[in-house]
Structure 1
Amino acid sequence: MLVLVVDSSTPAVTAALAEIAADGVTLRAERRTVDARAHGELLAPQVAAVLAEVGARPADLGAIVAGLGPGPFTGLRVGLVTAATMGQVLGVPTYGVCSLDAVGHPAAAGEPVLAASDARRREVYWAVYDGAGERIAGPDVDVPALVAERARDLGATAMVGDGAHRYADVLGLPLREEPRYPSAAALAGLAAERILTAAPGERLTPLYLRRPDAVAATARKSVLP
């Protein structure tokens, strides 16, 4: 089955096509651009590009997988709105995956790891994974010093992700270079069982973890002097 994978939870805007079968997941095309300010401009052209690369049409898609975050409000909603809209128009199921899982799960090679992405405001989104890649804490958002303490308490012996790169000195664990951003192959793999068993499609609920910076005014201001 041909599946579209999108993620916009980090500065890396990702679109990919994966072939999902009983014997595994094959990534057939991928586009990734790291630009924290251009999610809306980049994602749709990238979706079109991966479809064109394999000579497919939107109607050829059997499902859509989207990274649910956590991530900043503006960027994250671009991917989720795109996935939800395409799923509704095409009549195909949508499946969500925690974006941190697509960083921490493939990085956990027999030892507990901390996965962290940049949450701005000098904070990180984080989760901890055991040696088998199962999430044992998080996702959550905290200042790096508190995350370092929690990760040590949970036995993490390495760290991965863009947030780990940015705050390596505070987090204080051995840093793995990759994956720095959510892996399209991991996102597809983490949704594969649901897709292959024809599980009902899911509402794509974003993991914002905190309120957006912009809030509605609570009172009208007078325009008179």
Structure 2
Amino acid sequence: MRILGLDTSTSTVSVAVLEGPAEPVGPAAAAPRVLAAADVHEGNRPAELLAPTIKQVLAEAGLGPRDLGAVAAGVGPGPFTGLRAGLVTARALAHVVGVPVHGVCSLDALHAAALAAGGPADAVVVTDARRREVYWATYRDGRRTGDPQVGAPAEAAARAAALGVPVVGRGALVHADVLGAPPEALPLDPPAVQVAALALASLAGRGPQPLPADPLYLRRPDAQVPGAPKRVTG
């Protein structure tokens, strides 16, 4: 199966196309093949960058949208605007092509990427949540233990210190004064390669079931619908 993966949960727009089995083939199955991938770290412009990056990656892979068998999207946690752009695009593309769309926790993808780069199986993975906060989750023996959290960097730092594990991800780089700089040579943002790879592993029965392609915001967006005006009495 050829699967398009994408992630817009951070300031990096990541897109990849992988080819691999999506049926039970045993724990020793070969890793999926990366046909093309691109990571664009350009700040907060996911809506502008995602569509052309998808087009570029598909062209490099020599594929068209209808050559895909599925779409996988990082569901966060992440800021409202970025996640919305990514998941709306993933759903729309999957609908037009007529293929399923699967969700993957973006922190899981970042941890999987760190493992692939020789990083620790036990870690606290953090991404930048802005507002002087981070999104974070704890991993032991390569698996997430509990739901993702959002909070002050000190919360993630305390968790890492209590477990005696390192902190991985751009959140640590942004808040190095609290979390300490992340290990060098490890990825900072969730790569679409791992989003797609985790979705393929799940479909092949080698991991938890894929998530719905619903955003994991963890907090309300900045923009709110105003409440009803207060009644003025004279």
TM-score with structure 2 setting the length: 0.86
- Specify which of 74, 77, 81 is matched with residue 70 of structure 1: 77
1:20 matched to which residue of 2? 20
For residues 10-159 of structure 1, the aligned pairs below 5 Å read 10-21=10-21, 22-108=29-115, 109=119, 111-130=121-140, 132-153=141-162, 155-159=163-167
CA, structure 1 residues 202+88, in 2 after alignment: closer, same or farther (shift >3 Å)? farther
CA, structure 1 residues 218+169, in 2 after alignment: closer, same or farther (shift >3 Å)? same
CA, structure 1 residues 46+121, in 2 after alignment: closer, same or farther (shift >3 Å)? same
Which letter does structure 2 place at the counterpart of 1:20? G
TM-score with structure 1 setting the length: 0.89
Contact 1:168-1:175 at 8 Å conserved across structures: no
Report deviation, 1:40: 0.4
For residues 32-63 of structure 1, give each alpha carbon's deviation from its aligned partner in whole angstroms, at most 9, with x where no partner exists: 11123210010001111111112211110001
Give distance in 1, aligned partners of 2:81 and 2:48: 12
Structure 1 window deviating more from structure 2 (166-175 vs 64-73): it is 166-175
Give distance in 1, aligned partners of 2:122 and 2:181: 11
1:169 matched to which residue of 2? 177
For residues 126-161 of structure 1, give each alpha carbon's deviation from its aligned partner in whole angstroms, at most 9, with x where no partner exists: 01111x3100143100101122112222x1421111
Which letter does structure 1 place at the counterpart of 2:56? A
Report deviation, 1:102: 1.1
CA, structure 1 residues 44+110, in 2 after alignment: closer, same or farther (shift >3 Å)? closer
Give distance in 2, aligned partners of 1:137 and 1:47: 32
Structure 2 gaps of 5+ residues are: 22-28
For residues 143-199 of structure 1, give each alpha carbon's deviation from its aligned partner in whole angstroms, at most 9, with x where no partner exists: 01122112222x1421111101111220247634421011222212211133346x9
Structure 1 window deviating more from structure 2 (27-36 vs 169-178): it is 169-178
Aligned positions, number: 219
Give distance in 1, aligned partners of 2:67 and 2:204: 16
Structure 1 gaps of 5+ residues are: none
Residue 39 of structure 2 aligns to a residue in which SS?
Answer: strand
Give distance in 1, aligned partners of 2:43 and 2:135: 16
For residues 97-146 of structure 1, give each alpha carbon's deviation from its aligned partner in whole angstroms, at most 9, with x where no partner exists: 1001111234254541111000000000001111x310014310010112
For residues 50-78 of structure 1, give each alpha carbon's deviation from its aligned partner in whole angstroms, at most 9, with x where no partner exists: 11112211110001110010000001111
Give distance in 1, aligned partners of 2:224 and 2:216: 18
Give distance in 1, aligned partners of 2:59 and 2:155: 45
1 or 2, which has the higher strand percentage? Answer: 1
Which letter does structure 2 place at the counterpart of 1:47? I
Give distance in 1, aligned partners of 2:120 and 2:46: 34
Give distance in 2, aligned partners of 1:162 and 1:88: 33
Contact 1:27-1:185 at 8 Å conserved across structures: yes
Give distance in 2, aligned partners of 1:20 and 1:87: 18
